[in-house]
Structure 1
């Protein structure tokens, strides 16, 4: 189990450092129903990561992700492909970054967050976790690493739970600040939001590039071993 955790911790950290979802939950928390909608957003996020990871575990078992306690060839191919995808996404994000970070703008849909129903808030958290172009490949790669480690099902679930918890820390931090500090947390969260908006594209580019290269290397290592 230790090796599986070692493989997924870096991927989980990459999921946790997601500026756009962090901005989204800060905006959600600033709405009149923030104390309700904030936890709903976080639950949607956790469900999204858990479901996507569980799908990978369900596929990995019958597909023979582990052969003689070693990752199967297809796991190496999957990691290599996901790595290439992330590197390309990182290069695209880097080209799109604003030279003047102060000119960075939020996506237009974020302006309507204060009008979202609780169901939409839950769905937003779900989508930003499971359908995000950075988080989805990292979660699939984590699921592949866990399923290829040859662990009993209980340890696989525990490893996925650790991945989800660490991958959710970026969202849980502002949620915890609001729930425990209340109104005095507003200025702190405003500062976090402004920083995340300004540096979202650059942070995404660097994370995608670095983690993409890691997955590419891992996949290549499995294929040639």
Structure 2
């Protein structure tokens, strides 16, 4: 399992560094029912990543392992396609980044988060995890690596669980700070929110580029092996 974890933990870190979801949970924590809504948001995030990863494991199955324990060609082709897609998104984001970070604006839907019911909060977390343009490709790539490893089902599930845990740290840390510090955490979380809002586009562009290159390289390596 060690080799598989070495392959997917970097992808998990890429999912964990997600400015918009971090901003979203900070806004959720600032609502009157911040403690409950924060836990609901974190649960939705974990469920979204777990469900997407589980679907990929089922699709891949043990058939994902090719000859001599090497990943099957479809895994390489998938990573290659995901890598190209992330590189194109990186180029688009970089070209459209704000010249002045102080003028960066958040999506309009974020202004309504404080009025969300727990159900809407849960659904928002699902979308930001499994439907995110960065997180979905990275999760799919990680699950493809796990499914192609030839590991027993139990170990594959364990590897996916570790991936989801690491990928959720970006949200669990603000939630933990809030649960421990309560009202005292508002200034700290507010500063995190401001930084993430200003640098969201640039951070996402760099992450798209870095992980796009990684998936591109992984795909080429699998297809040439």
Determine the C-alpha separation between the residues in 1 that align with 2:96 and 2:32: 34
Q: CA deviation at 1:61?
A: 0.8
SS in 1 for 2:220: helix
Q: CA deviation at 1:69?
A: 1.1
Query: Counterpart in 1 of 2:104?
Result: 104
Alignment of 1:76-87 (within 5 A): 76-87=76-87
SS in 2 for 1:81: helix
Determine the C-alpha separation between the residues in 1 that align with 2:147 and 2:192: 36
Query: Counterpart in 2 of 1:180?
Result: 180
If the length of structure 2 is used for normalisation, what is the TM-score?
A: 0.98
Determine the C-alpha separation between the residues in 2 that align with 1:47 and 1:112: 23
Alignment of 1:140-155 (within 5 A): 140-155=140-155
Identify the range of structure 1 (88-97 vs 135-144) with the bigger mean alpha-carbon deviation.
88-97
Specify every segment of 5 or more residues in structure 1 that has no aligned partner in the other structure, as ranges.
none
Cα deviation per residue 1:153-179 (whole Å; 9 max; x = unaligned)? 011000000100000000001100110
Q: CA deviation at 1:99?
A: 0.9
Query: Counterpart in 2 of 1:162?
Result: 162
Specify every segment of 5 or more residues in structure 2 that has no aligned partner in the other structure, as ranges.
none
Deviant stretches of 4+, over 4 Å: none
Query: Counterpart in 1 of 2:17?
Result: 17
If the length of structure 1 is used for normalisation, what is the TM-score?
A: 0.98
Q: CA deviation at 1:224?
A: 1.2
Q: CA deviation at 1:192?
A: 0.1
Query: Counterpart in 2 of 1:39?
Result: 39
Residue 196 of structure 1 pairs with residue 187 of structure 2:
no
Alignment of 1:116-127 (within 5 A): 116-127=116-127
Cα deviation per residue 1:120-177 (whole Å; 9 max; x = unaligned)? 0000011100000000000000000001111000110000001000000000011001
Q: CA deviation at 1:96?
A: 1.2
Aligned length: 224
Residue 66 of structure 1 pairs with residue 65 of structure 2:
yes
Determine the C-alpha separation between the residues in 2 that align with 1:81 and 1:106: 29
